[in-house]
Structure 1
């Protein structure tokens, strides 16, 4: 195990998570800042990003989740919760997401108090306020994998289903990334270059693009967690689909915190039968993803 890996594991254990992984771009920014004589800036940035992620990790653990890994990114980080169970509860996903920016708000308040009593100088105060404001506000933008994107998905998944809400949040992130890059280029041509904005735009675009490509596997993890989740008292949600509709097109509309009853319609529009959520999910994990819903009626007979 390398020195960096040992350090990542040690920091993770201190945070109560499996491991803290530092993204190479974050490390590059830290090294670049150090060589540029900005070691203090680099240390403060690392500290604030780490505390931001600490907010996510602590909240997740309080809610009963196991945090396997925390990845430190230039704009914040990502807490990887075991078995992707977090998305099953929109309320808890939103609570974990908002915890990071909330920590940055608390740090801004703490810096103001320290400045008021003369414990830190004016330059340090300005630097701390700017960093925490930037980290907090940027992470609240409504695009995955940012915290704001997780809050958006939590709010929308009950209405349009987990997969569609996830895709929507990634599409918003791609649009925001393009806007950031365009603004950075525009600033360059106006004589006020903002390299940080362009880099963050590029990084957000890359992570959102990669995440969007993995949406289907994320949906499968969500459906598996939903299938294994103990059924408490849940609101019932009904869907009506043609008997020829693929099972895939039905389950991607399943939402968290809901129990689904699906009415199967014939070509005449009349109800042929109804199926419960668990019957359809079992078929999915039997490899019948592309079969028509009518095949489940044959099973019932």
Structure 2
């Protein structure tokens, strides 16, 4: 009994160490790009590095920060294998150390929110869809993939309490993210409005004159500055920041885009 308890405690310490290093990887990468880091939380079944960022950082930075956590497992696995090969330390410890690292690495790269794989899925979708639509589609796709993952887990393995806790946490994370979509979207727009001197690729949006300001802004893409072409009887062009200013400072959310500049 004592041996079993000692084994569980050792596994818990290894898990805690691995998760800590994983989250520090995210935090250090974010700090190197001067991201606004809120906190790093360690939970019994994982960790969270919370950033005060809302989708306007360059793709390169977002990919690096997202992959900085999983990358930590690669060097930890390499260290464990070297120690096993040369007989350094307790072989059982390093066998468990390697196994836990592989387990967390593979699980964390599943395309399910809020795992790192889910964040990468969201970045891919923002290449094809406007930011707002990409977020909602990612969450729908993620919950479907979570259902598939649960089904395969129940077929291939017995269902444990740990699995139930992780499942409940992931379901709750989806619920919270879905509820927070409007808030995150407004923060996305606010950041764009206050960005100064950041060069971006230009994207042209051709919109119907009767579309509201809110509908036009819902078509904004991550990583682009937008030039908005209004297809009225007398076509005209406006800048993204003019529409953002009307949305936030002129309470013109429901105003038709063609009426905005009359």
Q: TM-score by structure 2 length?
A: 0.89
1:289 aligns with 2:230: no
Q: Which has the higher contact order (CA 8 A, sep 6+)?
A: 2
Change beyond 3 A, Cα 1:136–1:75 = farther
1:251 aligns with 2:236: no
Contact 1:170–1:209 under 8 Å retained in 2: no
Distance 2:124 2:234 in 1: 31
Contact 1:261–1:274 under 8 Å retained in 2: yes
Specify the alignment match of 2:173 in structure 1: 207
SS at match of 2:89: coil
Where in structure 1 are there 5+ consecutive unaligned residues? 1-34
Change beyond 3 A, Cα 1:194–1:176 = farther
Specify the alignment match of 1:89 in structure 2: 58
Which residue among 91, 100, 111 is the counterpart of 1:131?
Answer: 100
For these two proteins, the number of residue pairs brought into alignment is 257
Specify the alignment match of 1:140 in structure 2: 109
Which residue among 39, 54, 79 is the counterpart of 2:49?
Answer: 79
Change beyond 3 A, Cα 1:199–1:187 = farther
Once the 2 structures are TM-superposed, how far is the Cα of residue 98 of structure 1 from its aligned partner?
Answer: 0.4
SS at match of 1:285: helix
Change beyond 3 A, Cα 1:292–1:86 = closer
Contact 1:184–1:195 under 8 Å retained in 2: no
The one-character-per-residue Cα deviations of 1:244-293 (angstroms, maximum 9, x if unpaired) are 11222221221222110111123xxx562111000111122123222221
Change beyond 3 A, Cα 1:97–1:89 = same
The one-character-per-residue Cα deviations of 1:53-83 (angstroms, maximum 9, x if unpaired) are 000000001111131111224553322223x
The one-character-per-residue Cα deviations of 1:14-51 (angstroms, maximum 9, x if unpaired) are xxxxxxxxxxxxxxxxxxxxx95411111111111010
Specify the alignment match of 1:46 in structure 2: 16
Specify the alignment match of 2:163 in structure 1: 197
Q: TM-score by structure 1 length?
A: 0.78
Question: Following TM superposition, where does structure 1 have runs of at least 4 consecutive aligned residues deviating by more than 4 angstroms?
Answer: none
Once the 2 structures are TM-superposed, how far is the Cα of residue 133 of structure 1 from its aligned partner?
Answer: 1.2
Specify the alignment match of 1:156 in structure 2: 125
Which residue among 251, 258, 273 is the counterpart of 2:236?
Answer: 273
The one-character-per-residue Cα deviations of 1:217-253 (angstroms, maximum 9, x if unpaired) are 1011111111111233321101111111122222122
Distance 1:94 1:78 in 2: 16
Distance 2:169 2:217 in 1: 32
1:178 aligns with 2:147: yes
Distance 1:193 1:217 in 2: 36
SS at match of 1:77: strand
Change beyond 3 A, Cα 1:283–1:219 = same
